[in-house]
Structure 1
Amino acid sequence: MASGTLLYAQSGGVTAVINATASAVIQAARARKVPVLAARNGILGALREELIDTRRESISAIRALAHTPGGAFGSCRVKLKSLDEDRARYERLLEVLRAHDVRWFLYNGGNDSADTALKVSKLAAEFDYPLTCVGVPKTVDNDLAVTDCCPGFGSAAKYTAVSVREAALDVAAMADTSTKVFVYEAMGRHAGWLAAAAGLAGNGPDEAPHLILFPERPFDEADFFKRVKATVERVGYCVVVASEGIQDSQGRFIADAGGGKDSFGHTQLGGVASHLAGRVKDALGYKVHWTLPDYLQRSARHLASKVDLEQAMAVGTAAVEYALAGRNAVMPVIVRTSDAPYRWKIEAAPLSKVANHEKKMPAGFIRRDGYGITDKARAYLQPLIRGEAPPPYGRDGLPAYVTLRNEAVPRRLAPWKG
């Protein structure tokens, strides 16, 4: 096997189990006597030559990553443009890789990260530099193409379903003299996977959530009011789950936060729950409460899905195996082989089939009336939230999460001016 160093980096929004993937990557590489560097704050760390030496971490700390949320090495929302548009940054990246004898690059992220890994592989080939690039899947939105599901989603889905069920019990207890409508905002810009996961909280039309608003369906305010009113009159209260990315019939986001766009070109969203709550109160006169879980959805490691944890570690181990075997420009993806009993395996998929392809909810997963999930959706979603994998707790009653030393290796190049 060729000598060299493996570089691992995290990208985009983190998840409850992305560090479990990192743990698996480092442990698998150590077993093969391959040194692992981690880029501080994702691709920015690579460009700045801020590289963490994971050999300075104890095996106990690396193992503890598996039950620690967040991004242990830091992440960032930075997307490199085309090889021509961002030529200087790509060549700087290659310069850093050469300086530290990096022969394997693992980029742990979503659609845009898969695209970056693919571009880096093409650049290395252009300069005849021996580099194997592997994308590693991660996203709570579950919108990566090819893979059956995405590590990070199962735990966020479990948090969503549990939170909605618990909140619904609270609303039911108070509905006679207080809150009649409760609105829960779920992440999901263009794909309603997390909103759909809330549907696991109940069964039947009288169990919460009573109405789910998907970004795949245009939002009709008048029809929404009619259904909220009918639910309150029938059940006594109404629990609504709304994806942050719902749009009107003209394709305008209901909750455009007005914060412009990030480096990925995404419109900043936020506030759909508060918006809907205000509109319901004004139109129907009900007392309304709402919640915006936001980061809680992706950081709740204490409520992680065991299946999700196992898959997050499996893709990390497979990524190292693929890289060391020279399988360039691929991503380890999850393949479902059976619903009942639930079975899955890991296979390699070309990055070209993953990069910048967005997987939305299938039409057959959304109820005909557009406000709930179907049995097909339930069969797909339910296995992904199974099992518990709680972190160890300390005597202070809090989870015993780990903080790494994150010691950098010495720089070998001049500071980056980009």
Structure 2
Amino acid sequence: MTRYNAFYAQSGGVSSVINASACGVIETCRKHSDKIGTLYAGRNGIIGALTENLIDVGEESDESIAALRHTPGGAFGSCRYKLKDIDTHRVQYERLIEVFQAHNIRYFFYNGGGDSADTCLKVSQLSERMGYPLQAIHVPKTIDNDLPLTDCSPGFGSVAKYIATSVREAALDVLSMCATSTKVFVMEAMGRHAGWIAASGALGGGEGSAPPHMVLFPEIAFDRRRVMRKVDETVKQYGYCVIVVSEGVRYEDGTFLADAGNTDAFGHRQLGGVAPTLAGMIKQDLGYKYHWSVPDYLQRSARHLASKVDVEQAYAVGVRAVECAIEGKNAVMPAIRRDNQSPFEWSIFDAPLSEVANQEKFMPEDYIREDGFGITQACRDYLEPLIQGEDEPPYVNGLPDYAQLKLVGVPQKLAPFSL
């Protein structure tokens, strides 16, 4: 059988387990060395392919690759760079095919979210038009948990575990001081359009007096008067109020509470910090002393608190991606199926990219409490299995010991390309 080379790249915001998917891809490629030759990685994601800045993954030891499973961040570098429309900017896609052809690459593994799924699908379509045989497999990853078809998105379970733990611990701090100090604590969670991460903060408590007392979702229009009334009632009843707010919370007209006024590389509105914005409203309307927190990158890079289920799923989709390629499949994404709730059991199936690309999965209505300020039991039942188990990295001198790769570059064969 003729051996062809493979290309792997990481895309978008990274997570504490995206390297576990990389580990799954690389280890499985090595197991099938009779079918797959050299595995290259793109330095800084798809930009590495466009600029022919490739990394020879074969130069890394088995031990270093195994260590990726417990290493956060993106080991090969990621990027926020969305390829333009294929009809008006065909040159970018043709450049990818030229690079793949120059390095005898027939397998394309793209590890990312919804925008990356779209890119992967378009590359697959163009390769067919150009008559170049290429199998494009999307490896799912997004902490936002908004990819369709899959039960959950690798990266989400660990963020959910971090947010739920942080809310529980911070709430105990606020409770200790609320009689004479802070009355309101606001924690911001990532999530531009979907409230999955904010919802996970509710796992830290429960109904009644157990914090968080309020969760604010992008799916529920923000009503300042109603929110302030709930905060005031909570403080008067319990002595303090803990709030988890999604960064994507918006008014009825769709305006974000924390719109920074510009856009990122994907065309998304840049959000400027909803936690301090909300805290300022509370101070202005109610006069309560407050504290706020924006975990930002901490929530997606906290590998020391990763969910074991999340790590296992991230690795499994990487493995399956390579198996799909070997089986001759194209334009698919290994997705997660929940087979049983209790005990929690899951499996992997192959989802068509045409049904994944540029689609978003929002919080179902029956997952949000009727008053709009919390989660239902159905949501709790969905979330709790995803944060189960601990998968701590090894520690050296009291600190996590993470993989450090050589990242050996590959000689370029083509003329330079400007982005």
TM-score normalized by structure 2? 0.98
Residue 398 of structure 1: aligned partner: 399
Deviations 1:41-84 (A, max 9, x none): 11100000000001100100000000000000000011112211
Opposite residue 113 of structure 1, the aligned amino acid is S
Which of these residues, 347, 355, 366, is aligned with residue 357 of structure 2?
355
Which residue of 191, 194, 216 corresponds with 2:194? 191
Matched residues in 1 for 2:200 and 2:119: separation? 29
2:409 aligned partner? 408
Aligned equivalent of 1:56, options 54, 59, 68? 59
Counterpart amino acid of 1:362? P
Name 1:281's counterpart in structure 2. Answer: 283
- In the alignment, what sits opposite 1:134? 137
Which amino acid in structure 2 is aligned with residue 415 of structure 1?
Answer: P
Name the aligned partner's letter for residue 303 of structure 1.
L
| TM-superposed deviation, 1:3 | 1.3
| 1:11-160 aligned within 5 A | 11-33=11-33, 34=36, 35-160=38-163
Pick aligned residue for 1:385 from 384, 387, 411: 387
The aligned counterpart of 1:300 is 302
Please report the RMSD computed on the Cα atoms of aligned residues, expressed in angstroms.
0.7
Q: CA deviation at 1:326?
A: 1.1
Query: What amino acid is aligned across from residue 336 of structure 2 in structure 1?
Result: I
Q: Secondary structure at the match of 1:90?
A: helix
Secondary structure at the aligned position of 2:115 is classed as: helix
Letter in 2 for 1:125: E
Q: Which residue of 2 aligns with 1:175?
A: 178
Q: What secondary structure does 1:151 align onto? A: coil
| AA aligned opposite 2:126 | L
Per-residue deviation, residues 343-397 of structure 1 (Å, max 9, x unmatched): 10000000000000100000000000000000000000000000000000002x1
Is 1:9 matched with 2:14? no
The TM-score with structure 1 as length reference comes to 0.99
* Residue correspondence of structure 1 range 249-264 to structure 2 within 5 A: 249-258=252-261, 260-264=262-266
In structure 2, the partner of 1:236 is 239
SS in 2 for 1:21: helix
Residue in 2 that maps onto 1:164: 167
Indicate the SS of the match to 2:245.
strand
Amino acid at match of 2:285: A
Partners of 2:331 and 2:58 in 1: CA distance: 26
Paired residue secondary structure (2:244): strand
The amino acid across from 1:170 in the alignment is D
Deviations 1:167-197 (A, max 9, x none): 0000000000000000000000000000000
Opposite residue 13 of structure 2, the aligned amino acid is: G
How many angstroms apart in 1 are the aligned matches of 2:253 and 2:122? 34
Residues of 1 paired with 2:135 and 2:193: CA distance? Answer: 32
Measured after TM superposition, the shift of residue 324 of structure 1 is 1.4
- 1:205 is displaced (CA, Å) by 2.0
SS at match of 1:379: helix
SS of 1:347 mapped into structure 2: strand
SS state of the match for residue 170, structure 2? helix
CA drift at 1:204: 1.1
Note the 1:339-378 alignment, pairs <5 A: 339-378=341-380
Q: Does 1:210 align with 2:213?
A: yes
**AA in 1 matched with 2:418:** K
**Partners in 1 of 2:310 and 2:366 — Cα distance?**
24
Gapped runs of 5+ residues in structure 2?
A: none
Q: CA deviation at 1:417?
A: 2.7
* Aligned equivalents of 2:13, 2:174: Cα separation in 1: 31
Q: Report the CA distance between 1:147 and its aligned residue.
A: 0.3
Partner SS for 1:136: strand
What secondary structure sits across from 2:291 in the alignment?
strand
In the aligned structure 2, how far is the partner of 1:334 from the partner of 1:254?
33
Q: Where does residue 337 of structure 1 map in the other structure?
A: 339
Q: What's the offset of the Cα at 1:271?
A: 1.2
1:272 alignment partner in structure 2: 274
Alpha-carbon shift at residue 270 of structure 1 (Å): 2.7
